[in-house]
Amino acid sequence: MKKILLNPNPLRDINLDCTKKVAAFLKENGVETFISGEIPDASETGAQICDFDSAAKSAEMIISFGGDGTLLHTANRVADIGVPVLGINIGRIGYMAELESNELSYLRNILDGNYKVEERMMIDVSVKRNDHVLYNKIGLNDAVVLKTGIIMTADMDIYADNMFISRYSGDGVIIATPTGSTAYSLSAGGPIIDPMSRNITITPVCTHALTAKPIVLSYKRVINIVPQNPQNAAICVSVDGDSGFELRHGDILTIRTSEKVTRLIHVKNTNFYDVLYSKLSDRRYS
């Protein structure tokens, strides 16, 4: 490992303390270490200042410092490049991160070549209005369609490969990847899916129907969602927690499996179920 790009969230890694420790360790071991000039006080880390997108193209790995949101942002930003990402958790749960901030000794495994790279499925999300594509995003976790008002429900027709599935009426719907099955979808009653699976899950949110249940589809399906609300009803789609895009009556929201994947680095001898229990079990609060 000769070139590593650091991507800290300064709101999580206060004073970039964790980033500085990692940068110093890597420098001591002869690794070229870079950090984007977009990061406040980046020069204090000792890493070389760079343009993020340019450095990412030649980096062998990116280290994300922060919570799951930071890792998702990093993964989405480098999806076109395919560079692997290591997550160091400085958030609250940090379910997707491989290491905690007190586990930096595991970085030695990377320098020794003792690590694995796991590919995670992603989704392409687009919105078409009057035959024009107005919105395009790629996501690792999910696409969430929710009402933004407090009174009206979000009404939408959902299709898979042009086959009508159902009309949902409620707060909204979550379209999740296997990685995203343990995020918002899980909180809304969706199933837990092994992240190495290739499925798309449709999870309704607070629907007004006893028969509205989560549905797991093949990754080959193309999902279309058509809002059925009046013109003045506010419905928004958000991909991996981004700022979102407002949908109008008659828009067509399309979600399909992406050709791109997120590559996550694993250096510990743990598996999906170990992490599931330690991070999401009620016992972590006891």
Positions marked active-site: 68
Q: What is the C-alpha to C-alpha distance for residues 99 and 88, in angstroms, rounded to an integer? A: 5
- Torsion over CA of 26, 29, 30 and 31, rounded to 10 degrees? -30
Q: What is the C-alpha to C-alpha distance for residues 91 and 13, in angstroms, rounded to an integer? A: 9
CB proximity list for 283: less than 8 A, separation 6 or greater: none
* CA neighbor of 202 nearest in space, from 172, 245, 170: 172
Please give the full DSSP string across 211-243, using - where no structure is assigned.
T---EEEETT--EEEEE-S-TT--EEEEETT-S
Report whether 3 contacts 34 (CB < 8 A): yes
Q: What is the C-alpha to C-alpha distance for residues 153 and 144, in angstroms, rounded to an integer? A: 15
Q: What is the C-alpha to C-alpha distance for residues 284 and 269, in angstroms, rounded to an integer? A: 20
Q: What b/e sequence results for 26-38 when a residue is b if at least 16 CB atoms lie within 10 Å of its CB, and e otherwise? A: beeeebbbbbbee
Separation of CA 183 from chain center: 9
